[in-house]
Amino acid sequence: MKKLALIAMALSMALAAQAGSAADKKAVADDQIGLSKTSVEAVPDPQVFHYRSNAPFSGQVLPRAYQGAPPQVPHEIKDFVPITRESNMCVGCHQQPDMVGKKMKGQPTPLPASHYVDVKTNTLNMGRYTCTQCHTPQATVKPLVDNTFGGKK
Ligand code: HEC
Ligand code: HEC
């Protein structure tokens, strides 16, 4: 009995080893590794896309993904970036402490109170200085991976 069990164990181990080496031989082709369907050696041209071209004051805003989400930038920003220590064009239009919470169509949405250390003294929270860290302009492109997120209903 004991001998039989040992033989069975040896057999199953041998089979497992064989299965392992068969799996090793089945290599993954280099065009099947990532999202790109070309060889990993190839440098494919990036897909061309264009940001929305409307300048500020067109009166357009984009839907919010969910409550509390940073609103997407609805206008062109190419003339307003990069944001540097010396220059931040975004605050030039959006920093209006007297207007917090008072949106007007076609006017720069005032920065919310959360973006200030103190609204009364007009002290911006420097953690919010680089606006494009959270607010991004939008382009119509095919997503690399589809996503079923429904957003705000
Ligand atoms: C010349 C003024 C101006 C500048 C500079 C500007 N904006 Fe705006 N922004 C506007 C106006 C006006 C709107 C309202 C929509 C419209 O009419 O274009 C707006 C809308 C927005 C909104 C949407 C707010 C909402 O209610 O959904 C975001 C976000 C935004 N801007 C971010 C930025 C960022 C980030 C920068 C800098 C890269 C920037 N803006 C620079 C004028 C400006
Ligand atoms: C760390 C992320 C972050 C940074 C940086 C940031 N924001 Fe925001 N912003 C948010 C979030 C989240 C909201 C929505 C929740 C809220 O109102 O606080 C928001 C809301 C807004 C709104 C809409 C206000 C309203 O009343 O609907 C505007 C306009 C805006 N931000 C502009 C800016 C500008 C301009 C800058 C740069 C000076 C900036 N934000 C920097 C995250 C950020």
The rounded Å distance from CA 56 to ligand 1 centre is: 6
Ligand 2 atom nearest to CA at 133: 5
- The whole-angstrom separation of Cα 48 and Cα 37 is 17
Nearest to 95 by CA among 113, 70, 77, 79: 113
pLDDT of residue 6: 55
* Ligand with smallest separation from the Cα of 68: 2
Q: Which of 90, 134, 136, 152 to mutate to test the pocket of ligand 2 (most atoms within 8 A of CB)?
A: 134
Look up tokens 């033989």; give the residue. 7
Q: CA torsion angle for 107, 130, 82, 48 (degrees, to 10)?
A: -80
Residue 2 structure tokens: 């004991």
70, 62 contact by CB (below 8 A): no
How confident is the chain (153 residues) per 10-residue block, as mean pLDDT? 56 53 73 81 84 92 91 95 96 97 94 97 97 94 84 64
